[in-house]
């Protein structure tokens, strides 16, 4: 039975946790901005003590690779890499967009009505300012239909996606997508908006698949998935 350690600092809140087999046995969360680095290191030590599991008993470290907060992704991956290297354990990397898609599937099929949504696409979207999102499109089996990249939310994109089938939108980019669909010239009844986020349960589900497949990150070369270059405004 695998024991996995989780680190997610891709968004405003930081999350750490531990699972054994299919069960989550510990979770800690931090909502204080600019303190994720301190929280992760101290929180992991406290969490391991609380469940009486030494770090050396961890089988793998799981971390979100993004897209998400530039600073947060660097903090999370640096912490995860450091632990994996020190403990000589494998590193499992997860896409935040795939996690959002997993959360959407969980919500859509919670009443056992999977067949109803079999032809739906899931558009995972993370706000990237203006009318841009970091996005990816998946089917209900989480197979990629549209590559993860920066998308401009515009009428032509949404129309093109709907030509292939009904669309489920999830993530922090949903608000700006709703704004577009409410314009007078936009007509569609083929879009569902979900106000949900992924949880440690979704991380566990995807991590177990990668653990079973021995699909691990290269500690030397793994890097955050920013999807576009970071622009630092000049000081002068």
Residue 187: its pLDDT value, please? 59
Longest dimension (CA), the chain: 59
| Domain spans of the chain, in order of start | 3-95+199-213, 97-194
Q: At what angle do helices 174-181 and 155-164 cross, to 10 degrees?
A: 90
Residue 142: its pLDDT value, please? 96
CA distance 57 to 83: 12
Alpha helices in 142-193 (DSSP H): 155-164, 174-181
Tokens of 223: 């890097």
Tell the CATH topology of 3-95+199-213: Nucleotidyltransferase; domain 5 (3.30.420)
Does 97-194 carry CATH code 3.30.460? no
157 or 208, greater pLDDT: 208
**In residues, how long is the chain?**
236
pLDDT in tens, 123-171: 999 999 888 999 999 999 999 999 999 999 988 898 899 888 899 999 9
Question: 6, 207 in Cβ contact below 8 A?
Answer: yes
Give the residue from 136, 126, 154 showing the smallest Cα distance to 70: 126
Q: Say whether pLDDT at 116 is over 90.
A: no
pLDDT band at 188 (very low <50, low <70, confident <90, very high): low
Residue 235: its pLDDT value, please? 45
Q: Which of 7-11, 212-216, 229-233 has the lowest mean pLDDT?
A: 229-233
As a whole number of Å, the CA-based R_g of the chain is 19
pLDDT band at 184 (very low <50, low <70, confident <90, very high): low
Question: 180, 130 in Cβ contact below 8 A?
Answer: no
Burial of 236 from C-beta contacts in 10 A (0-12 / 13-18 / 19+)? exposed
Same fold, 3-95+199-213 and 97-194: yes
pLDDT in tens, 78-91: 999 999 999 999 99
């Amino acid at each position: 039975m695998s024991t996995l350690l989780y680190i997610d600092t891709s968004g405003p809140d930081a999350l750490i946790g531990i699972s054994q087999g299919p069960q989550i046995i510990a979770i800690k969360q931090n909502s204080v901005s600019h303190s994720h680095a301190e929280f992760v290191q101290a929180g992991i030590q406290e969490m391991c003590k609380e469940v009486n599991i030494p770090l050396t008993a961890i089988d793998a470290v799981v971390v979100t690779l993004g897209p998400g907060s530039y600073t947060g992704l660097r903090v999370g991956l640096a912490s995860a890499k450091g632990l994996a290297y020190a403990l000589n354990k494998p590193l499992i990397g997860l896409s935040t967009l795939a996690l959002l898609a997993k959360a959407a599937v969980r919500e859509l099929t919670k009443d056992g009505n999977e067949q109803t949504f079999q032809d739906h696409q899931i558009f995972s979207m993370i706000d990237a300012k203006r009318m841009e999102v970091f996005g990816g499109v998946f089917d209900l089996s989480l197979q990629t239909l549209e590559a993860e990249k920066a998308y401009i939310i515009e009428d032509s994109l949404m129309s093109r996606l709907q030509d292939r089938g009904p669309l489920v939108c999830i993530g922090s980019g949903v608000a700006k997508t709703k704004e577009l669909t409410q314009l007078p010239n936009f007509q569609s009844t083929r879009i569902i908006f979900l106000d949900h986020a992924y949880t440690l349960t979704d991380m566990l589900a995807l991590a177990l698949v990668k653990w079973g497949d021995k699909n691990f990150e290269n500690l030397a070369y793994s890097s955050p998935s920013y999807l576009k270059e970071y622009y630092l405004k000049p000081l002068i």
